Amino acid sequence: MAVFSRYSRAATAATMQRQTATATATFSYLIRTFSSPFCSSSSNSLNSETDLNRGNKPDVLGTLKREPKGRNVQWVFLGCPGVGKGTYASRLSNLLGVPHIATGDLVRDELASAGPLPSKLKEIVNHGQLVSDELIIDLLSKRLEAGEAKGESGFILDGFPRTIRQAEILEGVTDIDLVINLKLREEALLAKCLGRRICSECGGNYNVACIDIKAEDGRPAMYMAPLPPPPQCASKLITRADDTEEVVKERLRIYHEMTRPVEDFYRSRGKLLEFNLPGGIPESWPKLLQALNLEDHEDKESAAA
């Protein structure tokens, strides 16, 4: 628990120290209840870009193909805002039978609740700033506690950790098996974020952007089709308040400044799998599964139907 001691000392106010100590103690207990008996060791090093290009698969993932639901994976998704972490994490969550926990969703749920906290959060989110470690840990602890009560096991984290301090906190309480770092060209990222739409009635996520980037300067072409809503949602689409060009660019700037060191943190521990998205879901999903040595039988059946 040395990590938590250092973390607590970093808080300048006595009140914040007490809140942090409570949140991290709860987080420590809860995340240990999710710990997988198959945690990877430092010997399972992934040189992801090289391995993917050569067609190699990390051995530590080999058993997932046989018994994915018994593995209780503890995975983390990294990537710029709008890259599609939630989309692919959710698909893998369904495939592997583990909960997908998106801290961005936790923040938005908190924003929709009553009380003094949402007003403070709204100002932070609408300016593209990062929510404090203390608050994120508190929200995540509550989510894990609720999941434990329902008998959940394992997790796929999306949006945490975003800073070295958060990564150190997580490292201090559990052993993350794999960190999947999704990458997408910045011009495509910006278009995706500005094209995002949400159904105000059902909460479904869609995208009206049609991204068609021509090949140039040795870079391959990229096409990402829109993700249109069904007819019943078409007239109810809204844009997130923070999906403006100014805010999106600020989020990307903050990500590059604060979160990229987290990539190095996990790369040095041999747990980082870097995956360059070649296009939309139809192109990227099968290749991501191949990189993870997984198969989606339902996807195959749908394609054959």
**Cα–Cα distance measured from residue 208 to residue 239, given in angstroms and rounded to the nearest whole number:** 11
Asked if the structure places residue 207 within a domain, the reply is no
Asked if the structure places residue 230 within a domain, the reply is no
Cβ(143)–Cβ(33) below 8 Å: no
Selected residue with higher pLDDT from 232 and 41: 232
When pLDDT is cut at 50, 70 and 90, the band that residue 202 belongs to is very high
Cite the active site residues.
85, 162, 196, 240, 251
Q: Summarize the confidence of residues 122-143 as an average pLDDT.
A: 76
Asked if the structure places residue 242 within a domain, the reply is no
Query: What is the predicted pLDDT for the residue at 299?
Result: 67
Query: What is the predicted pLDDT for the residue at 194?
Result: 93
CATH number at residue 73: 3.40.50.300
Q: Summarize the confidence of residues 230-248 as an average pLDDT.
A: 91
pLDDT tens digit sequence for 17-38: 444 455 555 555 555 555 544 3
Two tokens at 90? Answer: 């959710």
Amino acid at 213: I
Asked if the structure places residue 222 within a domain, the reply is no
Asked if the structure places residue 243 within a domain, the reply is no
Question: What's the domain range around 121?
Answer: 45-184+258-293
Q: Summarize the confidence of residues 204-233 as an average pLDDT.
A: 91
Asked if the structure places residue 229 within a domain, the reply is no
pTM of the model: 0.70
Cβ(96)–Cβ(73) below 8 Å: yes
**Cα–Cα distance measured from residue 140 to residue 101, given in angstroms and rounded to the nearest whole number:** 8
Query: What is the predicted pLDDT for the residue at 138?
Result: 81
Asked if the structure places residue 113 within a domain, the reply is yes
Q: How many domains does the chain have?
A: 1
Query: What is the predicted pLDDT for the residue at 139?
Result: 83
Asked if the structure places residue 98 within a domain, the reply is yes
